[in-house]
Amino acid sequence: MRIRSLLAVLTGASLLASCSPPAPQLAPPRAVMVRPVDGAAALPAVQVYSGEVRARIEAEVGFRVGGKLLERKADVGAEVAAGALLALLDPADALLAARAAQAAVAAAEADLALARSEFARAQELAARKFVSAAVLDVRRTALQAAEARLRQARAQADTASNQAAYTRLEAPAAGVLTAVLAEPGQVVAAGQPVFRLARTDEREVLIHVPEGRATALRPGRAARVRAWAAPEREYAARVRELAPAADPVTRTYALRVAVAEADAALPLGATASVAFVDEQVAAGSLHVPLAAVTRVADSPRGGRVWVVGADDTVRPVEVEVLAWREDGALLRADLPAGARLVVAGVHALVAGEKVRAVEEGAPVLLDVRR
């Protein structure tokens, strides 16, 4: 009987233990990504734009006379020297015109010779009083007219000769042919583009900047250029030209950056990046990610950041925001040195909350507690 009672007591105790709630487990501290203020200040605020490498001087070249394209001597991508033959027109008509002009010169020379002899005879007769002074004036005028017609014929002959020479299209300068716009057999008009020639002596990068940045990127501003195909090479550059008006479609401003020491690693048509270092960083500002700053409308300073203290608790700090940008925010660098700034997840923090700080760039570890 006593044994049964003991069993009943043990069974009841086990049932009560199984029905009682488990002991509460403390949640692990929230992991937050932090960046030391010193490291944040050392990061330069850089504006980077992508663009295309182009020649500073790029022109469409064509014949100065019209005609049928007889032969093309160069293809796209060919590097040509100044004066190199690029294409030929059918010269038949131009040669005939040159011959006709030369014949006109010969006729004018014959007329001049006759006018000179007649004027000489008129002078002899006038000296002997056989003809009047009026007749001598007529012969003199005829001689002057013959001389003028000869000069005119010679000028026309030179023009016709030039026209015949214009049937040869030569490169006006050394460069690279970036496009072919006409083919043999095609009849082209005077001035119609046949090739597009890019000079290789001066290269630049064409980029497009938004309206808010155009005022700061004036001609003469220093920049650094890197080709995507060769990122290990960096070139010193300078803003050469800024478009006075925005593109009507993209609402951006075309900007050309001249690269003084461009070489084969920066070929024409390649994609390159242009970086501008923000001058405000050198004046003592702090560049942080946008996710690290909360905009506070009623704050006179404009923003709030979260700092992890020595006891691993977070606290908000009001900061002065100098500029909101696409690549981050510029703050007045008045945070204490060595402070750990939370750079992600600030919207979920509570003042005084204990957190587990993970430095930005640290290797990812497996959290076995989750």
How far apart (Å, rounded) are the C-alpha atoms in residues 286 and 284?
Answer: 7
Question: Please, how many CA atoms are within 13 Å of residue 335, restricted to the half-sphere of its CB?
Answer: 33
Averaged over 272-286, what is the pLDDT?
71
Percent of the chain with pLDDT over 70: 84
Level-2 CATH architecture, domain 92-165: Orthogonal Bundle (1.10)
User: Looking at the predicted structure, is the pLDDT value of residue 241 above 70?
Assistant: yes
| DSSP H/E element including 80 | strand 79-80
The yes/no answer on whether domain 47-56+201-279 falls in CATH 2.40.30.170 is: yes
Helix or strand (DSSP H, E) at 68: strand 67-72
Query: What pLDDT, on a 0 to 100 scale, did the predictor assign at position 352?
Result: 84
Q: Give the residue with greater pLDDT, 10 vs 218.
A: 218
Q: What is the mean pLDDT of residues 191-206?
A: 91
CATH class of residue range 30-44+283-359: mainly beta
Domain boundaries, the chain: 30-44+283-359, 47-56+201-279, 61-89+167-198, 92-165
Averaged confidence pLDDT in the chain: 83
Q: Which fold has domain 61-89+167-198?
A: OB fold (Dihydrolipoamide Acetyltransferase, E2P) (2.40.50)
Higher pLDDT, 87 or 351: 87
Band (37; pLDDT cuts 50, 70, 90): confident
Sequence-distant (6+) residues with CB within 8 A of 2 are none
Q: What percent of the chain has pLDDT over 90?
A: 44
More confident residue, 278 or 20: 278
